[in-house]
Structure 1
Amino acid sequence: MNQKSIIEQIQTNKKHPNLKFSIKEKTEEFTRKLFFTLFDVDTEVAENIEKLEKQFQELADLVCWEPDKPCRDIWQEYLERLPEILKKLNKDAEAIAQNDPAANSVEEVYLSYPGFFAIAIYRLSHEFYEFGLPLVPRLMTEFAHRLTGTDINPGAQIGTPFFIDHATGVVIGETAIIKDNVKIYQGVTLGALYVDRKMRSIKRHPTIEKNVTIYANATILGGETTIGANSIIGGNVWLTASVPQGSMVSHNPQINIKNTSEK
């Protein structure tokens, strides 16, 4: 097969005219600038808001290829929501600083906590998801996922404050509902019982009520599963059914310890 034939076959099989990887690159640039605009004291707000608007307009033109979806019109309303989003994120950061003994300052939380970064990008993407903006919300959270190991679908509903400790391996599904003052540790999954395209419009991820703590590697599955308020879910627990408020759920594995120094 000659090179011309190979090129023709590749071109023939590039079937998606709107599949442009520049969308991903531009979304990541936009997300980074948005984060710095909100938090970095040396980043000038007014100047960057103008730059963000231009970046958003470029993104809107790339992702809204259906003519009946005027995505550019979203920007002004999104901009009006930014102060409230920032208030929520400041509460998240303050709660982490006040409750985590490893945090030496709130600045440390903003600069070094992967869980906070993942929450921040989730909250910033969630509003775009609510507006129905295609692709961009998911690409924003996937950007955070790649950097932090924390996978939060932009469709999830998450209260304030929210704390993800250590962050790595956390998965929060699209229809999960998390109420105020919830804390989860690394490796926690809030997922669906099974995957079926027919369930697209159905709640398939759990509800976590207020003041719940979920320890490392716990798995909670199912749209009808509710963790009652003020409950503690222990590490490595597997749940597919609801638990009442004030519950303590634990997993007790059998551990055998052998002293190899004895003869």
Structure 2
Amino acid sequence: MITIENVTKRYDNTTVVHELNLQIHAGEIVGIIGHNGAGKSTTMKMIAGLIEPSEGIVRVMGEDIQKGSAKIKQKIGYLPEESPLYEAMTAQQYLLFFSELYQMPRQKALTRIDELLNSLDLHETKKLTGEFSKGMKRKTAIARALLHDPDLLILDEPNSGLDPLTSFFIINYLKTLRHEGKTILLSAHNLFHVETICDRVAIIKNGKLLILDTMDAIRARLGKREYQVIFHADQKLDYEQVNGNYIFRTAEVDAIAGMLETVSANKWTLMDLSMRESALEEIYVKLMTNE
């Protein structure tokens, strides 16, 4: 679906993206994360064909996006991080206006708009977008990106500034779009959302790709696994104590097995046994702070 080959982007003497190589397959959700100024938005704009790389090639659906046909670009839906609306219009009027830019037949456009407004839970059709909450505005902008039923969605911070409930709605909506066969590239600062929804994650630092892989592979390479036994004993022991119980933590499977035998042999009360893996946020901080 997307192939980026040795792409560099410079603005004057500043290199924003440096020799970037990555591939995104059809039907998957890929998250791009990185610090502010890492090159995420620039990369997404190059994929959308909005800006040209200084060097290298961006291919979308097999074509160089800068030389590709209008037909290819019509298969892309792009949502920028900041997406102001025409606030004197209703959501339907706003989307109908864009349908004309896409040269959609009017009846087809009206049907599509109704589908999107319903699926995005935008039922206040008589209210002007200038009166919308931030969440409703973002949903309207997402509807605009989806209006022409693109195969590829490029979403720059789709949940930016939204309340938790609206963010949860949009994340689940993106899962629905993946089931419909859409390919989705998104950036987000909420790493829990990225970890939850994305098939693969790309981590960028100072314009360079550090890693692109599944969360399981990223954890195996950069994370850690910790086991925890919580037990109660009516005696003083040399273990961490919380709320009247003792906690034993280890990364070793053999050690956890030995501890369980000790708990059983001493007739202590086993309260909980759990396993915890590194979250994406921990791995990200480790990568960003490791020079």
Q: Which has the higher contact order (CA 8 A, sep 6+)?
A: 2
Q: Please give the TM-score of this superposition, normalised by the length of structure 2.
A: 0.26
Q: Please give the TM-score of this superposition, normalised by the length of structure 1.
A: 0.28
Larger radius of gyration: 2
Greater strand share, structure number: 2
